[in-house]
Amino acid sequence: MERLTPGDGIFDDEDALRDHFPNRILERDEKLTEYQSAFQEVVRNKRPRNVFVYGPTGVGKTIGTKAVFRNVERSIEEYDYGDSRFCEPSLRTVHLECKDLNTSYQVAAHLLNLLRAETERERISTTGYPEGEIYRLLFDELRETATSHVLVALDEIDTVGDDDNILYKLPRCNNDDSARYVDPAVTKVGVVGITNDGTFRDTLDPRAKSTLCDREIHFPPYDATELETILRDRADVAFHDDVLSADVVPLTAALAAQRSGYARAALDLLYEAADQARTAGDRQVTEAHVEAAEESIQQGAIVEEVHGLSVHGKLVTYAMLRLSESDATPAKIDTVYAWYKQAAEQVDISPVTSRTVHNTLNDLMVSGIVDSEEVNRGRGGGRHYEYELSCRPTTLLDGLDGDSRITSVDTRI
């Protein structure tokens, strides 16, 4: 076996295709301007608005928020309040990742610790306090912060689920008692809720909704042109000169836009393509590498998809697989159902009805596992669909492998 060497004919710095490096955001100028305008009140030293930010993963919500916060801070630093009629505000921003915090209580406790992190005040235990006590500590901490304004970003707030107490209370900690609210010494708080769950807003308690959703900012997926800009920017850093053949970036952008529109997906695809080139010892990344990478990413997605299916979904997939091996595809649902039923009975799983298998097959079509064609043989066969596999059997086996209930089915049905 040869030794690995750090030198690499393809990548100069592949980190540029991963994570949030470089920490900047492109093609979102208009969106960020709109977003930032929600904080006009801060710069005017008024009570800030609460903002609700939503959109799928990988479209710049998190770094966009950080960029906006930083820019608001800079705006205050750079504006000359000296002879204006506004008092100069002072701003503190915090960004809390709520991913692993499943309750309002946990969010409140971690937020409190985050606020205290920069002071000498001691952090509190994240368990053990009565619920009301946590909120009291948190609100006192907020009000007594040395700055005039605090902006709190709660990232991935959908994880707190039904327990939206914090989302109701936090935005109101300014005005829950009006004497304090007019007191200029009391810190004014603005809350930004960030989520990638499009339905989350609707599940909120109406009271929380009305306060938190003061202003709503929607981050849509990127289109192909935007992805192209992002890819070029990163590719400049990631690759040696002239490694990418001309159409690689546009093709990658187009494929990623078609599939999802997430920057992450586009960068992963480009990385995968380049990695394949490197592994093959090629000196250039070509469109063929991109096509191959797209293919392998899609296969990977299908493996995941199959892996996550219900037992019945797996059994139907298995039945399709066996039918395909026996050259019995395309098959109509009766045939598929018969094979499915046999497989199910063999492993002692009571089969579902054909109506349900019908639905299952529809799901499998959406996932790109099977494909169907409408056929109509009139009196001698009627109108129906015929199903066949739409991906490689080996891919499906990878997905089914590991489920002992399926692998123990006798292959000689």
**Residue numbers of the site for DNA (CB under 7 A)?**
162, 310, 312, 332-334, 352-353, 355-356, 358-359, 362, 376-385
Instruction: Spell out the residues 6+ positions from residue 281 whose beta carbon is closer than 8 angstroms to its own.
Output: none
| Distance from chain centroid for Cα 132 | 33
Per the listing, tokens 């093959």 go with 280
Alpha helices per DSSP H over 57-150? 61-78, 104-117, 131-143
Nearer to DNA, 353 or 407 (CB): 353
Nearer to DNA, 35 or 387 (CB): 387
Structure tokens at 111: 């937020």
Cβ atoms of 61 and 196 within 8 Å: the answer is yes
Give residue 356's identity as a one-letter amino acid code: T
Cβ atoms of 133 and 171 within 8 Å: the answer is no
Residue 345 to residue 261: CA distance in whole angstroms = 43
Nearest distance in Å: CB 138, DNA? 23
Nearer to DNA, 112 or 316 (CB): 316
Per DSSP bridges, beta strands 383-389 and 188-195 are: unpaired
Nearer to DNA, 214 or 363 (CB): 363
Structure tokens at 95: 């960004």
Closest CA to 253 of 413, 26, 89, 66: 26
Nearest distance in Å: CB 38, DNA? 32
Nearer to DNA, 308 or 381 (CB): 381
Nearest distance in Å: CB 350, DNA? 7
Nearer to DNA, 166 or 230 (CB): 166
Nearest distance in Å: CB 311, DNA? 9
Nearer to DNA, 355 or 392 (CB): 355
Nearest distance in Å: CB 404, DNA? 20
Nearest distance in Å: CB 385, DNA? 4
Nearest distance in Å: CB 75, DNA? 43
Per DSSP bridges, beta strands 383-389 and 331-332 are: antiparallel
